[in-house]
């Protein structure tokens, strides 16, 4: 077997054999296949695609490159959620303890933000003392005790994907649906969860800009999960407007606490409950009532146990940015548009995100929304508040927001944040 023959096969739009896929993933992980060779293969996959059988085998080969976790000793059924990323997407924070409060175990392996999309671990690290890195035995202990854990994936899970993702990021091949799907699902399947719910974002603030592409990605990932014995469903959800009223790290933690306390923005509550019901149904706990667990405080109790178990102080004050800048409504009327991508870009420029994975983030930086599309505003009232420790960032953040919002006459809007379901 050699890399050139595998590259030529996919370049000529041939289906790769199981043996070719197994060999090239293993050889690349070991360093026998060079980066430039894997780059050529990734580009050929981007241009010519893969069959369902090829994607399933590619995913299996990436899983086989590392360890696979086993949660069978737990007394609870396991359920996990993955979001394809968006702006203000703090759903994991209230969702994990909520589902745990209803009887499932939630082993939530999460990541950090890059570019305009926020990262769950960055948000949680704004809580004093909280630690993202856990050993596998400690993760099992927390799951057995409190039922939910949110942490970083260990280096042993799908190392081939970690190496390939970094390569795709610099070679213009990130957009390949087979490679996106196998990247996400190799980690989730290796994680060992019994069921998985996918939140596939659609819109300007998401990776998938239109419903057809999002549906294709969702169907591909659901098929992968099914092929590997993981009960998998997907919700397609709107990301044309930021989720909730905040985009940032500590800002989103604060908003998540409002949800756990029984309040919070309507769209965040709606999506949290929709995903919770999907996860509980997939875990065989369809009789559980997540709405009741929010109302009676049991989800908040789970949150406090989960945060404390990872070294965090659930009672500590959250960081606040040193500087704020208010953006006023330009005129009277109805806010008809607030672009998610622009808000995410502004939050990133304020210091809430990073351009490179090693860059630091500001815990208090971000954007606070005072109105959502469909709501009435009055000229001069606060529309957005920008938060940062470094006021020299305000100008570039304001530039990102130019043309990002419109005030005018009311327009029809989707009645639900959930646009479709794939199973």
Mean pLDDT value of segment 67-95: 94
Is the pLDDT at 88 greater than 80? The verdict is yes
Compute the residue count for the chain.
Answer: 423
Q: Would you place residue 11 in the very low, low, confident or very high pLDDT band (cuts 50, 70, 90)?
A: very high
Alpha carbon distance 142, 310 (integer Å): 8
CB contact at 8 A, 6 and 24 = yes
Collapsing DSSP states into helix, strand and coil, what is residue 95? helix
- List residues with catalytic annotation: 82, 161, 168, 183, 187
Cα-Cα-Cα-Cα dihedral sign, residues 249, 318, 273, 191:
positive
Q: What is the pLDDT of residue 356?
A: 73
Average pLDDT, the chain: 94
Q: What is the pLDDT of residue 337?
A: 94
Collapsing DSSP states into helix, strand and coil, what is residue 390? coil
Is the pLDDT at 77 greater than 90? The verdict is yes
The per-residue pLDDT for range 319-373, each reduced to its tens digit, is 999 999 999 999 999 999 999 999 999 999 999 988 776 778 999 999 999 999 9
Give the right CATH number for 323-408 from 3.40.50.300, 3.30.70.980, 3.30.70.890, 3.90.1170.30. Answer: 3.90.1170.30
The CATH superfamily of 3-49 is Transferase, Pyrimidine Nucleoside Phosphorylase; Chain C (1.20.970.10)
The per-residue pLDDT for range 219-230, each reduced to its tens digit, is 999 999 998 899
Is the pLDDT at 114 greater than 80? The verdict is no
Collapsing DSSP states into helix, strand and coil, what is residue 270? helix
What is the CATH class of 80-154+187-309? alpha beta
Q: Give the closest residue to 129 by CA, choosing from 319, 308, 322.
A: 308
DSSP secondary structure letter of residue 249: S
Cα within 13 Å of Cα(70), Cβ side: 3
Q: What is the pLDDT of residue 165?
A: 85
Q: Where are the domain boundaries for CATH 3.90.1170.30 in the chain? A: 323-408
Q: Where are the domain boundaries for CATH 1.20.970.10 in the chain? A: 3-49
Say how far residue 421 (Cα) sits from the centre of its chain: 17
Q: Would you place residue 151 in the very low, low, confident or very high pLDDT band (cuts 50, 70, 90)?
A: very high
Q: What Å distances lie between residue 227 and 54, 197, 222, 243, 332, CA to CA?
A: 12, 15, 9, 32, 54
Q: Where are the domain boundaries for CATH 3.40.1030.10 in the chain? A: 80-154+187-309
Contacts of 214 (CB under 8 A, 6+ apart): 200, 201, 202, 206, 208, 236
Q: What is the pLDDT of residue 268?
A: 97
């Amino acid at each position: 077997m050699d890399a050139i023959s595998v590259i030529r096969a996919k370049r000529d739009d041939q289906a790769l054999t199981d043996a070719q896929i197994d060999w090239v993933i293993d050889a690349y992980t070991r360093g026998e296949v060079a980066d430039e060779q894997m780059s050529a293969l990734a580009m050929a996959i981007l241009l010519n695609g893969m069959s369902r059988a090829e994607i399933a085998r590619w995913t299996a080969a990436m899983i086989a490159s590392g360890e696979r976790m086993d949660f069978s000793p737990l007394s609870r059924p396991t359920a996990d959620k993955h979001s394809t990323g968006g702006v203000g997407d703090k759903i994991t924070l209230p969702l994990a303890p909520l589902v745990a409060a209803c009887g499932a175990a939630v082993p939530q392996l999460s990541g950090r933000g890059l570019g305009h999309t926020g990262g769950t671990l960055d948000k949680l690290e704004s809580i004093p003392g909280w630690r993202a890195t856990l050993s596998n035995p400690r993760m099992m202990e927390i799951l057995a005790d409190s039922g939910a854990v949110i942490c970083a994936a260990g280096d042993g899970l799908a190392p081939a994907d970690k190496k390939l993702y970094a390569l795709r990021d610099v070679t213009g091949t990130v957009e390949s649906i087979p490679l996106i799907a196998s990247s996400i699902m190799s980690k989730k399947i290796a994680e060992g969860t019994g069921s998985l719910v996918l939140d596939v974002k659609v819109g300007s603030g998401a990776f998938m800009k239109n419903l057809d592409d999002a549906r294709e990605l969702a169907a591909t990932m659901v098929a992968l999960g099914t092929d590997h014995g993981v009960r998998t469903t997907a919700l397609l959800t709107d990301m044309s407007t930021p989720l909730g009223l905040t985009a940032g790290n500590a800002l989103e933690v604060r908003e998540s606490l409002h949800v756990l306390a029984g309040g919070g923005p309507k769209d965040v509550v709606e999506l949290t409950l929709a995903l919770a019901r999907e996860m509980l149904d997939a875990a065989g706990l369809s009789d559980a009532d997540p709405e009741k667990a929010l109302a009676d405080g049991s989800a908040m109790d789970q949150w406090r146990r989960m945060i404390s178990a990872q070294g965090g102080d659930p009672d500590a004050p959250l960081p606040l940015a040193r500087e704020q800048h208010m953006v006023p409504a330009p005129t009277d009327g109805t806010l008809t548009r607030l672009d998610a991508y622009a808000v995410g870009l502004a939050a990133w420029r304020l210091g809430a995100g990073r351009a490179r994975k090693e860059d630091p983030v500001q815990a208090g930086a971000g954007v606070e929304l005072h109105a959502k599309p469909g709501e009435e505003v009055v000229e001069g009232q606060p529309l957005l508040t920008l938060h940062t420790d470094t006021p020299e960032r305000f100008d570039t953040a304001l530039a990102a927001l130019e043309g990002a919002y419109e005030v005018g006459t009311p327009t029809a809007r989707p009645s639900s944040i959930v646009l479709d379901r794939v199973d």
